[in-house]
Amino acid sequence: MTSLTRLHPWLATGPAAWLVSREVHPGVAREAWAKGLPATLRAGIHFDAVHISAALVASRVASRERGAVEAWFREGGITAAVIVSRLRDRYTALVPPDAAVGWDLAHTHCLGATRHTPYLAVPVPTRRRPPGAFWLLPAPDGEGMLCAPDRLRELLGGASAR
């Protein structure tokens, strides 16, 4: 156990451990999180990431109120792995790797191994409120908690994957 994980044991367990478990330099992410800052993680290894404009979500929910948006995701079968951006202008849903291949839903952008910029700023896994970016729905601690791409497409009003 490193001195950092001795000081912050949560960095070595649950979502914090899973999110960095395939990173080349997990200590860099842990250091950022220990300081309360987002960590830069590479999409396409453990997960891909779908950026969704807040305007698209608001058009589906008819509200920008946190409780309404969270309930909308949950009712659509998305129960974890959704981040709210620092500026509240975007939601990011973590999906299984390779979801970025062929992703073309309007008002969204998918990051993954096949994309030009596969890096994602990931908030502290325990941060569920502002300031800064935070987890609208709990951070995943395994692949089973990632968002299902088909459910996400359906929820956003897009066609099934081709």
pLDDT of residue 158: 60
Tokens, residue 129: 């409120």
DSSP string, 26-90: HHHHHHHHHTT--EEEETTSS-EEEEEEHHHHHHHHS---HHHHHHHHHHTT--S-EEE-TTSSE
Strand ordering across the sheet containing 48-53: 108-111, 48-53, 90-95, 82-84, 134-137
d(CA 107, CA 56): 7
- Compute mean pLDDT per 10 residues along the chain, 162 residues long, and list them: 75 93 93 95 93 95 94 97 97 93 88 83 96 97 96 79 36
